[in-house]
């Protein structure tokens, strides 16, 4: 079965064709980064306008690179949540219209579950495992028992990890997107230049939750307080010290979740899963099997949406054509989460 996947939740207009949930036949990503770089962040209005301009050419290119006509497509999947509302609506409405006009099945896909599926495009992965979903909008540690069976164990109490990378990079003028810029600078910096504190939040919050507002404030407003004497205040040293703490916050909660649940297989997804320090530190952990998607599939793409769309379709699950867009994550099972 060949599924066309459409993704437009943030600042990438993307479409892909995936066969049987595994074979990426085409994968086109039109990035809007240059349009948002001037502002050091995604401007929702610009994002929606660019999606509107690019959605048709991007879908056409995905089909032509796959050497397929629309008639040969078995289903159309699109992200309907979470994301920027104006951005989501473009891809979702396009996909539903296409499905309606062609009388083909339509499948609405949760973007975060899509990120998790990205690693499955590359290899067979057995369930259950621990999922680490880290992007510009989310930081989620979850138990994954199936492609649509997710138990959220922990999430962020404030900023998402990618958001912290982006904000620190913006403040210091490191470049955009911030995560990519910091990762690159950090390679020639010393992570011991500053000793930023780890958040002390596990008393009141959930024990697998993370927090990034403290680190962000420390790195931006209180850096003098945490800077170690003898280290030069270079962009490389700031980036390396910030990144080290950012990654260790995730690691400490993830390793605790692994010890408590007995799950030793970890699958990462989302833009921050591209981080080289996160990958290196997890690779050092003995007794864990850590699976990362290829770098290209960490950030937003249509292949992860098409791949997951296939799974639903193969199980006979489709979505109605009045499926709405939703800016928030929905459809996660949230066990053990007493907070509203």
Q: In the set 75, 136, 154, 309, which binds ligand KG4 (CB under 6 A)?
A: 136
Closest CB to ligand KG4 among residues 3, 274 = 274
Task: Write the interaction track for Zn ion spanning residues 299-328; mark x where CB under 5 A is met and - where it is not.
Answer: -x----------------------------
Q: From the list Zn ion, ligand KG4, none, which binds 87 (C-beta under 5 to 8 Å, kind-based)?
A: none
By CB under 5 A, how many residues form the interface with Zn ion? 2
Residue identified by tokens 């979850």 is 142
Q: Which stretch binds ligand KG4 (CB under 6 A): 140-148, 174-182, 257-265, 315-323?
A: 174-182
Question: Which is closer to Zn ion, CB of 12 or CB of 244?
Answer: 12
Write out the binding residues for Zn ion, residues 282-301 only, by CB under 5 A.
300
Q: How far apart are CA 27 and CA 58, in angstroms?
A: 10
**Quick one: which H or E segment has residue 131?**
strand 129-134
Answer yes or no: are the C-beta atoms of 251 and 210 closer than 8 Å.
no
Assign 154 to helix, strand or coil. strand
Instruction: Check residue 179 for interaction with ligand KG4 (CB under 6 A).
Output: yes
Is 135 an interacting residue with respect to Zn ion (CB under 5 A)?
yes
Q: Which is nearer to Zn ion, 117 or 196 (CB)?
A: 117
- Total chain residues near ligand KG4 (CB under 6 A): 19
Q: Which does 274 bind (CB under 5 to 8 A by kind): ligand KG4, Zn ion, none?
A: ligand KG4
Query: 241 by DSSP, 3-state: which?
Result: helix
Is residue 135 a contact residue for ligand KG4 (CB under 6 A)? Answer: yes
70-78, 85-93, 131-139, 303-311 -> range binding ligand KG4 (CB under 6 A) = 131-139
CB of 80 to Zn ion, least distance (A): 14
CB 270 within 8 A of CB 134: yes
Per-residue interface string for the shown chain with ligand KG4, residues 298-317, x marking contact by CB under 6 A:
-xx-----------------
Sequential DSSP letters for 7-68: E-SSSEEEEEEEETTTEEEEEEEEE-HHHHHTTTS--HHHHHHHHHHHHHHHHHHHHHHHT-
- 69: how many CB neighbours lie within 10 A of its CB? 9
Close Cβ partners of 86 (under 8 Å, ≥ 6 residues apart): 44, 45, 47, 48
Site for ligand KG4, residues 180 to 199, rule: CB under 6 A: 180, 183
> How open is the CA angle 6-156-107, to the nearest 5 degrees?
20
Q: Is 271 in the site for ligand KG4 (CB under 6 A)?
A: yes
Phi, psi of 31 (to 5 degrees): -90, 140
**166 touching Zn ion, by CB under 5 A:** no
Binding mask 196-225 for ligand KG4 (x = CB under 6 A): ------------------------------
CA angle at 35 for the pair 33 and 38, rounded to the nearest 5°: 95
Find the binder of ligand KG4 among 272, 282, 306, 329 (CB under 6 A): 272
Residue the block writes with tokens 């099997």: 289
Provide the token pair at 37.
């770089």
User: Quick one: what does residue 165 bind among ligand KG4, Zn ion, none, with the CB cut-off 5 to 8 Å set by partner type?
Assistant: ligand KG4
Measuring CA to CA, which residue among 153, 169, 111, 168 is closest to residue 135?
111
Give the footprint of Zn ion on this chain (CB under 5 A): 135, 300
Give the footprint of ligand KG4 on this chain (CB under 6 A): 10, 135-137, 162, 165-166, 177-180, 183, 270-272, 274-275, 299-300
């Amino acid at each position: 079965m060949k599924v066309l996947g459409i993704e437009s939740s943030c600042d990438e207009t993307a479409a892909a064709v995936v066969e049987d949930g595994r074979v990426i036949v085409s994968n086109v990503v039109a990035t809007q980064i240059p349009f948002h770089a001037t502002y050091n962040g995604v401007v929702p209005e610009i994002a929606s306008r660019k999606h509107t301009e690019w959605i048709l050419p991007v879908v056409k290119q995905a089909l032509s690179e796959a050497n397929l006509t629309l008639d040969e497509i078995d289903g159309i999947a699109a992200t309907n949540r979470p994301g920027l509302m104006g951005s989501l609506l473009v891809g979702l409405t396009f996909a539903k219209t296409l499905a309606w006009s062609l009388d083909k099945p339509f499948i609405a896909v949760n973007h975060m579950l899509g990120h998790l599926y990205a690693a499955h495009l590359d290899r067979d992965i057995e369930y259950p495992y621990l999922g680490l979903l880290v992007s510009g909008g989310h930081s989620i540690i979850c138990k994954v028992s199936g492609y649509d069976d997710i138990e959220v164990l922990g999430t962020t109490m404030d900023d998402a990890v990618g958001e912290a990378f982006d904000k620190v990079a913006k403040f210091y003028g490191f470049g955009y997107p911030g995560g990519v810029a910091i990762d690159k600078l950090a390679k020639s910096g010393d992570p011991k230049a500053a000793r930023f504190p780890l958040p002390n939040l596990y008393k009141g919050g959930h024990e697998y939750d993370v927090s990034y507002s403290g680190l962000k404030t420390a790195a931006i407003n209180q850096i003098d307080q945490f800077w170690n004497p003898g280290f030069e205040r270079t962009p490389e040293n700031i980036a390396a010290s910030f990144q080290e703490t950012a990654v260790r916050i995730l690691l400490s909660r993830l390793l605790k979740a692994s010890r408590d649940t007995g799950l030793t297989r970890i699958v990462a997804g989302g833009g921050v899963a591209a981080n080289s320090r996160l990958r290196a530190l997890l690779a050092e952990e003995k007794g864990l099997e850590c699976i990362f998607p290829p770098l290209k599939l960490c950030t937003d793409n249509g292949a992860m949406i098409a791949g997951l769309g296939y799974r639903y379709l193969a199980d006979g699950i489709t979505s109605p054509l009045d499926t709405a867009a939703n800016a928030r994550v929905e459809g996660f099972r949230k066990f053990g989460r007493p907070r509203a």
